[in-house]
Structure 1
């Protein structure tokens, strides 16, 4: 502590020595006079011992003095020579300067962190960038004795430095060495700020004045000498609509234009020309003659009319002009008249000026964030949900500059140079505007724009998770057309990135940035209630790209991270490729490498099918699940995929038989896991394994599971609609509870937060639930807990076992790319039957389509009832469900087996290749009889 005090004293002595040095030559005095000509802007601290001067020729000076009229030597601040300074502010021993490019610089004493650069050095003589405010479009800066406050274009206030009296407005008294957001002013957007030695005053856009910090001299105007740690409105000025505010060392002045009066409060000691000596605790008008001209009544404190009394500085001029560096110039932002000039001018001289202006704005994150503001006042509502950007203006600007190739290229060049430097940890919602604006300025379809968009995607992915969530929220609040356009933009650059990987045979990077953004946008769309359809995210080129990657022998696993871009057919292609790759083994011989597809020979007996399946699964090694099944029914002929489908179909029907007692059955004809499951029973582990094996072997199986299962498999929370699908009566009852308007009727039901299980036991849905009545106030919580219990909590153990088995049975992780509804169709098959497609896709062997037997067959088939048609499908393919890709892709063959005695033979089927062996018959009646007999005979195998 002692060492810190010594460093502070040394730093002050160093600065004091600088300001006491008197000029030695007349040349120095002349230089001082030159600085005080018309057009110069100067700012001083409360005692006018420290002055900053921006000369009309663009030079920036700093000077110290011990008396107002004493000759002194100004110091040219060479370090800021390349920056166009638009605002300056002086503290007691430190300085700040804001550049037109939106950068804030600070230098001088830093004993309280008042420079905001995060350094512990007590004195920094050269200007340093205040990085904590990078990207925030600042409207005004102000310096106190040893603290600083700034306000953004959208009214956000940030403070740092000394905080002994709460002058930072943060609710505590700890010094801050970096800018901190004054959250207490979030809903009272500021348009002007001023700092005293140890207090701060803020003017809101509604004309209210808030003060905080040291109040010992009454300078806060709260009729008290108490310090305030957070902003507090000056109640005496309520309703007066103040337009200007200025702080002295221990006093405050405000101007009320409607009354044409200046009010003051705080310590005087005669310095304002007043006879009063005592501290003034509340605002009272100053009894002085001031110029009759009024201040600007716009409430933005951007301009002040000058006094007409030459040589006499009025109270208004003294405190509102000199102390606050009027007029306030702002950072560079895009203006319509500038854009018009950019587009219309083509001379070389103008081109250089245009390039300079473009560079000034589009090389600055702050200037971009300060442009395109919603002028209807919405930018003052900027938050994590509202960007404050007028997107119509952004699109209008793009349409204009795209007409001039040179201008567009210059804008894009500056954006490209800026993107790598964007902050990864923004401190303000205003920082996020750049991420909304830039994609819509990069819509042109060319290679250069795609490269720039890749850099933008990288900048977005550098954001910390909490900041990325803010951007996602802003994305979700975009208009639907803009959101859709954003997806199109990133789809284009994603395609460009993938084609590069193909053309240049580059290795897959850890992530493809544009695809990563698309997947994030897809999740945003889901959370926003699916404003866009899934197919809006599909990239139709992906099927060909995946195929080309596989032809080149390149792994497509990387693409599984971005399932939103694939339609279901492309997903199935990826899944098949992945499973096929896992099932291959390489037999290396001296002369060649032989590629063999591994098979798992799976013999089972129909009379004890489940018993044999469970034995195989219990004794299997994990590597066996990477092999495709070759099912053999003991005592029967035939092999192929049809027998695999038959195995899964028959096993599923056996497991779902109510007599098996494995699953719970509901009137909806759906099954669900039991509430109670033995921890030693491996039934659900085995059932899940069987389910996973069906997925791996490209089979579908008729488990009558609800959609809730497939949501849970993909980590999507089931909803009340899912419960209603499983238990319709309960679902409707819960929906009625949510709709009930009568509190009395709800209470009369005497419902509590409990759930009755099948065995009669009562489960509390929350702690002490049996004693909590369901009311209109808590009914949503009750319904949510009820749904969660039935679909999650009550079946936790059997579902976890089921999923453990599924992952074992399907070692290819490509199943995760399917949406829940796609996974449901893929595993259960379709139940939408278009029998005309079945006929359309049929092929014939040893038959012509015009043969009478073929005509008779289709006549008989169309006469069958719907259930018989489904049973025929099971007889033919091994399952009464349609393949996931639909009947339009289902091909079966009708073949003449050339039987010796066709009248004595049934039609038969080879389920392995979906072939119907159809002997020649003489009439429809005989064919119908034989076909029905064949279907009924096959029912004995448990296919239907």
Structure 2
């Protein structure tokens, strides 16, 4: 049954059926086989048995006849949408035809090979949604209603709306000069004219590209409808929101004001509305449970069905015929410019054919089961695979978490996927080799190249969570190709989209996140392994850093989200082999330069060296794959291009070094090898450099230097709040620290971990303050853990530090510490001491530090590792030193002198053993890699007297030991040697 009301038209629209006149100007009839209809400004169209008839609605044509459109014999129309001046028709099979104002109907060029499932018309523009989720748009673009971007011209041919590529759309709608789409998870996008706020964005500025209507986020929107200058949406629970022009009351808010934000139609609250549709200046809603229709807005032509020619700003019940209540169910509401329609079907015995699916094709269990069992022909299966797996929208719309409607909560925090369903579905696909091979081909050739690096909505990012799970089950060659291609696409994402993806990663189930890491870790390891054994392959050299960058992204996500994935999961041990290959190549070139040059092999070897070096330089900025040994090896074996020479007096080390560093302060010293001369002898030796760092840092960090402040037990230092020396000295202090790092020198730098965190841009914590000031730190911890009312402590946000009284919250002086703000108090206390109070001084130190070393090398190391590289550790395992010692010349492990030496060594005090380590290596502490990194060599030192002291070459940890006549003499000479005046021993 068809009911209609509004402006006068030809009786019954010329349809062959008797018209019944009811109350309030409502007419009803029961035309046979009306499957669908639409009303626009100029036409009303009916579909009967797949054929279309149209009637002009303009005043001058009121007496016109219903005209059947001439279509091809096999064309059966399943949908019609009338716009401002014409109409768009959708035929079975997904073909689109357009009808202009002369009622001529023709196929729309540009969509011939597309299977369209939905169409929409505005006044002068149209939209079409295809089965694979692509949106095409054409027509007038005066207000950006095509969504193609500002300045884009109008077009008669359909254009793909690339900005929405990947968004799984559920519905499209077009208004006067604005457009809307709705995603499967209820996200609403609008664009075009916004003069009355009809886009719901809070303003009246036109939009030329699709824009998310944030006011409707998580409202479970299931339907949208656009009017002339207003818009209505329907939520799953039956709530109606309206916005835009309200001048005729068409928003239903009991006012005639415009609304720039979506607003609930309060009068319909609790009615569980099932349909909403907008006319040009009025709105219709239906409630299927009660079989009621409500209207509001412009009723000047009777289009509200209330018997009055007035405007209504609140919903008013339409007085339908009695038989509508009992025999029929509301099928569809249609609101035109001055007319309203309601299509009904009989509740029982309905023989009309169901509407064909209007949803995009998505992957589900039933489809996969059909493929796996091959119930369909291989040709049909291949076609479906191509449709689903070539479309980002189709895949992004698959596997949604429908339990508790969770996918409607999709946001930057929630991806909306059912991970268990994804896993079982892809596992089924992987069992069939022919199926999965076809899937891989489509993904590689069609899907990945089509991805948009700047997607409009977050739903498009689901694909980047789905594909790793698909790739994980592939054979090695297929996995390698797709992993690299996917990695490239992830890195192509714009920063905002990549940030959302990282958030999704941080919330993945543990096994999914582990699988993601494992996928890119294994791929990277395989590539590094190939590089170490193959000839030059620049394709791998280009491809490898992309995989590792994904690993680095995942590593940072795991660190910031505190996920239970260890650092070892990211380590690639093959890097150590690559470092060994590079070191061997360097040694071959250095040791055989002349021979290689004469034989003509040098060019190939240098090319290989450059190849390895280039790869490592690209990888070093992605340190998650390096274990500590590899990081230190790279630091030790890299080639420093320049030399910084310091000529110093032993009696004025700090004065001379500061003076000379000032002269080069404008230069970047990151690639400089430090060479130290003492004016007393002017010999350049590695002993000089190590001696210099030892003594200059002892002087710098001594209380007498006044550079630093110390904690209560004088074990750790920090920057002073009010420095008593000029700021430049902190720059030079930082420069010396950077030079020590750059030259692999362990120095005396008694700072808490907070310093090394700040150098790595990691925020210091309360634990760092506890390390520096145990009493203060534990007091703050006590405040956080206090079980009673903190107010009893009578604390406020005014503190005293380094002789200065400070307000931690200047906006509220004297603010009291309570249970509610104690975390804020502690955070601000820690921040003040470790950051704000020393900001100016630390920034000078940091500037000097990075002036003397490369930032990317520093960023290789975690804060704990950075401290270990610069300061060393105190894990003195003397047994390891003994086990790792090798002997040269006449010496061997059972030689009497060696036996006596180790007996003497074992009898030394703890401090004497540390002094021996300093004598041997030039460092007071153990290197970061532990005592195993100290490879002591012992060889005989031939002397004609028993007075000669043992000697050490610190750069090689080489001990030259005379053969003494007795253990007693050996003991005396060893002790004398290790207590020898620092900096004056012989090399």
Q: Which residue of 2 aligns with 1:309?
A: none
Counterparts in 2 of 1:624 and 1:78: CA distance versus 1, 3 Å? closer
Cα distance in 2 for partners of 1:941, 1:787 equals 44
Q: Which residue of 2 aligns with 1:893?
A: 937
Cα distance in 1 for partners of 2:276, 2:439 equals 39
Q: Does 1:565 pair with 2:622? A: no
Aligned equivalent of 2:402, options 334, 351, 375: 375
Counterparts in 2 of 1:186 and 1:839: CA distance versus 1, 3 Å? same
Q: How does 1:534-545 map to 2 (within 5 A)?
A: 534-545=567-578
Q: Does 1:553 pair with 2:553? A: no
Q: Which residue of 2 aligns with 1:287?
A: 319
Cα distance in 1 for partners of 2:881, 2:970 equals 19
Q: Does 1:31 pair with 2:75? A: no
Q: Which residue of 2 aligns with 1:577?
A: 637
Q: Is the 8 A contact 2:621 2:857 kept in 1?
A: no
Cα distance in 1 for partners of 2:727, 2:169 equals 67
Q: 1:401-460 deviations in whole A, cap 9, x for unaligned?
A: 222333223222222223233222222111211222222222335344433333323322
Q: Which residue of 1 aligns with 2:377?
A: 350
Counterparts in 2 of 1:667 and 1:262: CA distance versus 1, 3 Å? same
Q: 1:77-130 deviations in whole A, cap 9, x for unaligned?
A: 243221111112233443322110111223334444433334667853332323
Aligned equivalent of 1:480, options 492, 510, 518: 510
Aligned equivalent of 2:700, options 650, 655, 669: 655
Q: Is the 8 A contact 1:747 1:775 kept in 2?
A: no
Q: Does 1:75 pair with 2:112? A: no
Cα distance in 2 for partners of 1:35, 1:73 equals 18
Counterparts in 2 of 1:863 and 1:222: CA distance versus 1, 3 Å? same
Q: Does 1:56 pair with 2:92? A: yes
Q: 1:658-706 deviations in whole A, cap 9, x for unaligned?
A: 3343321213511122223367464333333332332233221122121
Cα distance in 2 for partners of 1:867, 1:627 equals 34
Counterparts in 2 of 1:900 and 1:358: CA distance versus 1, 3 Å? same
Q: Is the 8 A contact 1:243 1:254 kept in 2?
A: yes
Q: 1:786-819 deviations in whole A, cap 9, x for unaligned?
A: 3333223333344334334434544696344222
Counterparts in 2 of 1:853 and 1:65: CA distance versus 1, 3 Å? closer
Q: Does 1:875 pair with 2:919? A: yes
SS at match of 1:141: strand
Give the C-alpha shift of residue 888 in structure 1.
1.4
Q: How does 1:665-744 map to 2 (within 5 A)?
A: 665-667=710-712, 669-677=715-723, 680=726, 682-740=728-786, 742-743=788-789
Cα distance in 1 for partners of 2:850, 2:100 equals 76
Moved more, 112-121 or 234-243: 112-121
Aligned equivalent of 1:246, options 277, 295, 299: 277
Q: Does 1:422 pair with 2:451? A: yes
Give the C-alpha shift of residue 530 in structure 1.
5.3
Cα distance in 1 for partners of 2:143, 2:853 equals 62
Cα distance in 2 for partners of 1:766, 1:559 equals 44
Aligned equivalent of 2:468, options 436, 439, 451: 439
Q: Does 1:148 pair with 2:179? A: yes
Cα distance in 2 for partners of 1:572, 1:13 equals 78
Give the C-alpha shift of residue 518 in structure 1.
2.4
Give the C-alpha shift of residue 284 in structure 1.
4.2
Counterparts in 2 of 1:235 and 1:679: CA distance versus 1, 3 Å? same
Cα distance in 2 for partners of 1:931, 1:549 equals 39
Aligned equivalent of 2:79, options 7, 22, 42: 42
Give the C-alpha shift of residue 829 in structure 1.
1.2
Moved more, 884-893 or 254-263: 254-263
Q: How does 1:78-227 map to 2 (within 5 A)?
A: 78-118=109-149, 124-227=155-258
Cα distance in 2 for partners of 1:226, 1:619 equals 72
Cα distance in 1 for partners of 2:329, 2:516 equals 45
Moved more, 165-174 or 626-635: 626-635
Q: Is the 8 A contact 1:46 1:196 kept in 2?
A: no
- Unaligned regions of 5+ residues in structure 1, if any? 1-11, 67-71, 297-302, 306-312, 584-597
Aligned equivalent of 2:434, options 395, 399, 406: 406
Give the C-alpha shift of residue 147 in structure 1.
3.0
Q: Which residue of 2 aligns with 1:455?
A: 485
Cα distance in 2 for partners of 1:243, 1:426 equals 32
Q: Which residue of 1 aligns with 2:832?
A: 789
SS at match of 1:817: coil
Counterparts in 2 of 1:237 and 1:36: CA distance versus 1, 3 Å? farther
Q: Is the 8 A contact 2:221 2:236 kept in 1?
A: yes
Give the C-alpha shift of residue 185 in structure 1.
0.9
Q: Does 1:338 pair with 2:371? A: no
Cα distance in 2 for partners of 1:657, 1:941 equals 22
SS at match of 2:294: strand
Cα distance in 1 for partners of 2:852, 2:156 equals 69
Q: Which residue of 1 aligns with 2:556?
A: 523
Q: Does 1:814 pair with 2:857? A: yes
Q: Is the 8 A contact 2:238 2:273 kept in 1?
A: yes
Q: Which residue of 1 aligns with 2:390?
A: 363
Give the C-alpha shift of residue 382 in structure 1.
0.4
Moved more, 922-931 or 747-756: 922-931
Q: 1:212-240 deviations in whole A, cap 9, x for unaligned?
A: 23334443333333333222212222222
Cα distance in 2 for partners of 1:576, 1:672 equals 29
Counterparts in 2 of 1:510 and 1:449: CA distance versus 1, 3 Å? closer
Cα distance in 2 for partners of 1:525, 1:421 equals 29
Q: Is the 8 A contact 1:638 1:912 kept in 2?
A: no
Cα distance in 2 for partners of 1:193, 1:327 equals 20
Cα distance in 2 for partners of 1:876, 1:93 equals 87
Give the C-alpha shift of residue 895 in structure 1.
4.5
Cα distance in 2 for partners of 1:569, 1:456 equals 31
Q: Is the 8 A contact 2:389 2:447 kept in 1?
A: yes
SS at match of 2:324: coil
Q: Is the 8 A contact 1:35 1:53 kept in 2?
A: no
Cα distance in 1 for partners of 2:328, 2:781 equals 63
Give the C-alpha shift of residue 332 in structure 1.
0.9
SS at match of 1:158: strand
Q: Is the 8 A contact 1:134 1:423 kept in 2?
A: yes
Counterparts in 2 of 1:738 and 1:61: CA distance versus 1, 3 Å? same
Give the C-alpha shift of residue 870 in structure 1.
2.2
Q: Is the 8 A contact 1:114 1:146 kept in 2?
A: yes
Q: Which residue of 2 aligns with 1:5?
A: none
Cα distance in 2 for partners of 1:411, 1:651 equals 66
| TM-score, reference length from structure 1 | 0.83
Cα distance in 1 for partners of 2:263, 2:664 equals 73
Aligned equivalent of 1:231, options 258, 262, 265: 262
Q: Is the 8 A contact 2:934 2:957 kept in 1?
A: no
Counterparts in 2 of 1:774 and 1:812: CA distance versus 1, 3 Å? closer
| TM-score, reference length from structure 2 | 0.80
Cα distance in 2 for partners of 1:334, 1:646 equals 70
Q: Is the 8 A contact 1:46 1:248 kept in 2?
A: no
Q: How does 1:253-332 map to 2 (within 5 A)?
A: 253-268=284-299, 269-270=301-302, 275=307, 277-288=309-320, 289-290=323-324, 292=326, 315-316=343-344, 329-332=358-361
Counterparts in 2 of 1:877 and 1:115: CA distance versus 1, 3 Å? closer
Counterparts in 2 of 1:478 and 1:917: CA distance versus 1, 3 Å? same
Aligned equivalent of 1:756, options 801, 805, 811: 801
Give the C-alpha shift of residue 353 in structure 1.
1.6
Give the C-alpha shift of residue 897 in structure 1.
4.2
Counterparts in 2 of 1:420 and 1:503: CA distance versus 1, 3 Å? farther
